[in-house]
Structure 1
Amino acid sequence: MTETARTAAQSAGKPPGLRERMRATVRTEVVEVAHRLFTEQGFDKTTVDQIAAEVGLSRASLFRYFGTKEEIVLGRLAESGRRIAEALAARPDDERPWEALRRSFDVLTRMNEQAPEQTLSYLRMLQETPSLRAGHYEKQRSWQELLVPEVARRLGVSPDQPEDTRPSALAAAALACLDVAATGWVACEGAVPLAVLLDRAMGALEEQPGPA
C-alpha cells in the first residue's frame, strides 16, 4: 500500500471531528424546524428568513449549510440513496437482481413504518410542489447511478458497456415502481402499507400475462 493510500485509509477510519459533528447537528436542527414550518404553512409560504430565525442563524449562515430552500427538503434523499445501494450490495449473491432490488427498498419501508404520518407529509410535499418534484426526479436519477454497478455485477456484465442496457433498465424500472407505490401510498393516506404497494408494483412487472 502506498503512503497516500495508507493516509486515505486512516482518514476514512477516523470518527468525524468536532466541527463535522457540530455541522451535522445544525443541519439536523434546520431540517426539523423547516419541515415543521413546511407542514404548518406549506413549502411556498415558508421563507428562508423564517427558518433561519427559528434556528437562530442568519440567512447567510443558513445558506452555508443548504444552498437552496429546496435542498433542505431534498438533502435527506442523498442519504436514502446511499442506504439503498448499501442494502443492495449486502443481499445474497445468488438472489435474482429484481428480488435484490425489491429487498433493498426495505430500508425505506421500515423507516416509513417508524413515522408514517411524518413520511406521508414529506412525500405529499414532494408530489405537490413543482420545484421539489423536479429535484426529487434528479435525486432518483442519482440513485439509479448508485444501483447500476451492483445490478451489473449480479448480471455478470460490466457497467461500462453502454450496449448492455439491462442493468440500467432494471434499476430504472425498480425506482419507477417505488415512485408509483409512494404515489399510491399518499393517495390512500397510508391505508395500505407502502411495502404492500411496492410488492404489487414490482410484482406486476414479473407476471407479464400473455393475451387471453
Structure 2
Amino acid sequence: MRVELALLAQELFAAKGYHSTTLDDLMSAAGISKRTFFRYFASKEDLVLGKYDVWGERLVQAFTARPPDEPVWASLRRTFDVVVHYFGDPAQLSHMLALEKVIQENSALSAGELERMARVQSELAEPIAQRMGALSTGDPRPSAVAGAALACLIAAKNVWVASDRARPFSETLDAAMAPLGPVE
C-alpha cells in the first residue's frame, strides 16, 4: 500500500504540483480514508521523502554484504549499485524523475532530503566503523567517509538528472567518486 500511495502521489504531484495537491486529493484518488493514509505516512512530506528511510536500510544491508577485506571506498561504490539499478529500471525512471523535480522545486522538501540523508549517513557510518576498526565513538572517520560517499551519490544524481541522463548513471557516479580515491 505504501508503494501504491507513493506512486499515485508522484502522478498527482507531477500533474498538479506538490503544493496544489492536498491530502484530500491523495485520499480521494486512492479511495482511502484519512486514518488509512496516516497508518502509512505521517505527512505529505513523508510520502515524498520516506524513500530515504528505505534507502538507508538497503544501503546498510548492501554494505555489510560486501567482502570484509574489500577496501571501504570500493565497497561503498558497489553498495551504491542498489541505487544504480533503481535508476536504471525503465519502469521506475519516469516516477523517479518526477519525484526529483518535486523535491528540487520545493525548499522544504530539499531541506527534508538533506535531513534524511544525514540519517542515512549516520546509519551507514556504523558498519563502516566496524570495517575500519574504529571502536571509539569519537573517531570522525566513519561518519566522514559515509558523508563523502553520500555527497558523491547526490552530486552524481543531480548531474545525471540535470544533464538529461547524458551518460549512464553508473559512469556519472564513478566520475563523482573517483577523485576521493580508496579509503582504508
Structure 2 residue 58 is matched with structure 1 residue 83:
yes
Q: Distance in 1 between matches of 2:4 and 2:11?
A: 11
Counterpart residue number, 2:110? 133
For residues 133-173 of structure 1, give each alpha carbon's deviation from its aligned partner in whole angstroms, at most 9, with x where no partner exists.
11111111111111111111111121x421x2111110000
Counterpart residue number, 2:40? 65
Counterpart residue number, 2:16? 41
CA contact (8 A) 2:8 2:30 kept: yes
Q: Quick one: higher RCO (CA 8 Å, sep 6+), 1 or 2?
A: 2
Shift of 1:58: 2.9
Equivalent residue in structure 2 for 1:54, among 29, 38, 43: 29
Structure 2 residue 141 is matched with structure 1 residue 146:
no
For residues 2-38 of structure 1, give each alpha carbon's deviation from its aligned partner in whole angstroms, at most 9, with x where no partner exists.
xxxxxxxxxxxxxxxxxxxxxxx3x232212111101
Aligned AA for 2:157?
A
Counterpart residue number, 1:176? 151
Shift of 1:189: 1.4
Q: Distance in 1 between matches of 2:146 and 2:126?
A: 10
Matches within 5 A, 1:102-141: 102-114=77-89, 115-141=92-118
Shift of 1:60: 4.4
Q: Distance in 2 between matches of 1:121 and 1:61?
A: 25
Give 1 or 2 for the bigger CA radius of gyration.
1
CA contact (8 A) 1:120 1:190 kept: no
Aligned AA for 1:28?
V
Question: Is 58-67 or 109-118 further displaced after alignment?
Answer: 58-67
Q: Distance in 1 between matches of 2:101 and 2:72?
A: 30
Query: What is the TM-score when the length of structure 1 is the normalising length?
Result: 0.80
Matches within 5 A, 1:149-168: 149-158=126-135, 160-162=136-138, 164-168=139-143
Runs of 4+ in 1 over 4 A off after TM superposition: none
Shift of 1:124: 2.2
Question: Is 174-183 or 109-118 further displaced after alignment?
Answer: 109-118
Percent identity over the alignment is 39
Matches within 5 A, 1:88-107: 88-107=63-82
CA contact (8 A) 1:116 1:190 kept: no
Q: Distance in 1 between matches of 2:144 and 2:58?
A: 20
CA contact (8 A) 2:125 2:142 kept: yes
Q: Distance in 2 between matches of 1:141 and 1:77?
A: 10
Structure 2 residue 173 is matched with structure 1 residue 198:
yes
For residues 60-109 of structure 1, give each alpha carbon's deviation from its aligned partner in whole angstroms, at most 9, with x where no partner exists.
44233312111111112211110011000000111111111111010011
Structure 1 vs Structure 2 CA RMSD: 1.5
Query: What is the TM-score when the length of structure 2 is the normalising length?
Result: 0.91
Counterpart residue number, 1:189? 164
Question: Any unmatched runs of 5+ in structure 2?
Answer: none
- Structure 1's 166 and 141: CA in aligned 2 closer, same or farther, altered over 3 A? same
